[in-house]
Structure 1
């Protein structure tokens, strides 16, 4: 590989192996997802980060090829100025198009997804990882052992011959990891996970700058939230096959990093689904809950149409009576697989959709269009600063 990267990836203590990692602040579940203590460490001679379940992982140089599955890691790479090193992402057209919907508001920021492979087309294939020859794999090794054809020995082999694994999947929902990892497995917020990634690739300064923007956004949200009794009931759902695929709003996990800080009243808060975070409900159950707001998950992706969802609900004999339908409060949302840049936009978007009086009204949105332009005085974070941090001009 050109560019001065070592002929073989340098991996130190415990990469891809079950290691007990003591990480302060990893169980922080505050409404703002604020980080606890720094979960990472550095070395003068290499870039080292600690993340459960991989343990301590080191690289000897900034990675030139990064393997990702879910787009939260691709978004992190973009945020750290390494978007052009990503070689794979889940459903590239959906993930990449959605990411660029947000990046359209950031000068000089974009994500080239057209040539990327989809690592889940036929499951995670060991042969694909060998072919891509990545410097680092942003994949949870505990999760990978649950995939067909993978064992801990496979992960160890790929770690030695290709590059380390560094990721944490089960923090997304606080689900239970595989038994062999359960005792030592740690949970992180989205921004704690992002910090670990930034430390590993030697771009912690960009994390720090972006975290300041995030903290400012969270402070704005917390300062303006109306009293609990005045908040709307809401549901995050996707319509399909005659049912609503419905998600909780305020449970732990980084999949909810854009709804939990807004603290709306979850229309299904008392409902327990087998999967924990999400389940399916029919029209009658939705009518009984009768939420004030429906947040249409995936509605800003190219795979789902918010316009069609609105039309379907408006013509359905039960759904048309929903308050959210009658008051035209069905809003397109993005992806739950969100990284830090996506999180900033999705927090702003959700704040305006839930609380227009406090945060300014959400503009109308047309299927397939980029994130709408918000007037300067109504923006909840500074686009120019964020763009300059990402491009290294800050």
Structure 2
């Protein structure tokens, strides 16, 4: 492995100032570090120079200026960069071709917003050599989840932190899973929007965060005000339906941001208590649960055949008996590792899919981008969201 020449000469670089602070870091060398005054909540410095942001499991992370090049691993972090107008600065992510196409199903409805993640490094299990080569200013990824990979140990994670750029991410808030044992005593769980607020501080984009959070808050208020009584809510299953003989399912009441677009709408989970999030079931078990609504994960992806999924269910001996199939309530969903923009769209689409009489009908979807919703039936302002991402507000 060969480090970049600017490191071997001993000359200070911009990344030399992008090191960890706090209990997890070695001594941080930052110009003006002694002037870290006026810190806000969670150690976020509000001065014009160096600043720090605190999030588990990293602890306090110090920066001298907003990072420019951005490494990500999972798409909730890439989606946060995108929401802050930094989508084009992402240099790596898991399955970029797949998720780039999926994200663009939604950006179609945001005037003037474009996104191109084609050709990025696919970073599910990033090699140490590639992390040096990318030479990112920040790694928006959970060091505990990277440490959990068979290919990485704690020393690898620390080396990249100290010689390339800090880690800043949280993965196990997805389902409140247990992190590796060595990280357990420093781990905390966050909602999607709590995490987004901290990421926004890293990039000094608090105003963008606040503007999007206001839209998100109004959307949640609309949902809460109009949510039908509990006895009128349908039962539902969130499932991966690409193989109907081996269906993987996610329980709707599991804490974590994977279902951040489900819990506010409070559908009744149809699965029995002995089925856990991420389990694989067969059609007989699904029929036993007999949900009123089936949500098909990834159903909005351009390579997913929603018409074929519905047809396969109708042609299956057990599938055709499902209430959701008979009542034509098999709906597409987007991504589990959703960023804030997808979360807005998925809250809207799920509200319409569950409660069409209250929030307006969800169009029958077979292919193409996120459907056009009439202005009077949209649950959030697309133009406002687009202007925030672009930076016109």
Q: Give the structure 1 partner of residue 265 of structure 2.
A: 262
Uncovered stretches (5+) of structure 2, i.e. residues with no partner: 5-12, 27-39
> How far does residue 46 in structure 1 lie from its aligned partner after superposition?
2.2
1:59 aligned to 2:63?
Answer: yes
Q: How many residues are matched?
A: 367
- 1:74 offset after TM fit, Å? 1.1
Which TM-score applies when normalising by structure 2?
Answer: 0.90
What is residue 225 of structure 2 aligned with on the other side? 223
| Higher RCO structure (Cα 8 Å, ≥6 apart) | 1
1:379 positional shift: 0.4
Task: Tell me how far 1:15 sits from its aligned partner.
Answer: 8.2
Residues 259-312 of structure 1: per-residue CA shift (max 9 Å, x gap): 111100000152343xxx221111111111111100001111234321111111
Q: What pairs with 1:158-237 in structure 2 (closer than 5 Å)?
A: 158-237=160-239
**Residue of structure 1 equivalent to 2:130:** 128
CA deviation string 1:247-269 (max 9, x = no partner): 11122101110111110000015
1:6 deviation in Å? Answer: 2.0
- Secondary structure of 1:384's counterpart equals helix
Mark the structure with the bigger radius of gyration: 2
CA contact (8 A) 1:74 1:86 kept: yes
Which among 137, 140, 144 is matched to residue 139 of structure 2?
A: 137
Judge conservation of contact 2:56–2:188 (CA < 8 Å) in 1: yes
Report the RMSD for the aligned CA atoms in angstroms.
1.9
Q: Partner of 1:72: helix, strand, or coil?
A: helix
Distance 1:346-1:7 versus aligned 2 partners, 3 A rule: closer
What is the distance in 1 between the residues matched to 2:303 and 2:18? 39
Q: CA deviation at 1:17?
A: 5.5
Contact kept in structure 2, 1:16 and 1:155, CA below 8 Å? no
User: 1:248 & 1:7 partners in 2: Cα distance?
Assistant: 42
Instruction: Note if 1:246 corresponds to 2:249.
Output: yes
**TM-score, length-normalised on structure 1?**
0.89
In structure 2, the residue matched to 1:28 is none
Report the Cα distance in structure 2 between the residues aligned to 1:112 and 1:16, rounded to whole angstroms.
35
1:341 aligns with 2:345: no
Conserved 8 A contact 1:290-1:323: yes
Q: Secondary structure at the match of 1:147?
A: coil
Question: 2-side partners of 1:51 and 1:110: how far apart?
Answer: 30
Measured after TM superposition, the shift of residue 76 of structure 1 is 0.6
The structure 2 residue matched to 1:110, chosen from 111, 114, 119, is 114
Kept after mapping to 2: 8 A contact 1:40/1:196: no
Structure 1 stretches (4+) deviating beyond 6 angstroms?
Answer: none
Alpha-carbon distance between aligned partners in 2 of 1:297 and 1:58, rounded to the nearest angstrom:
37
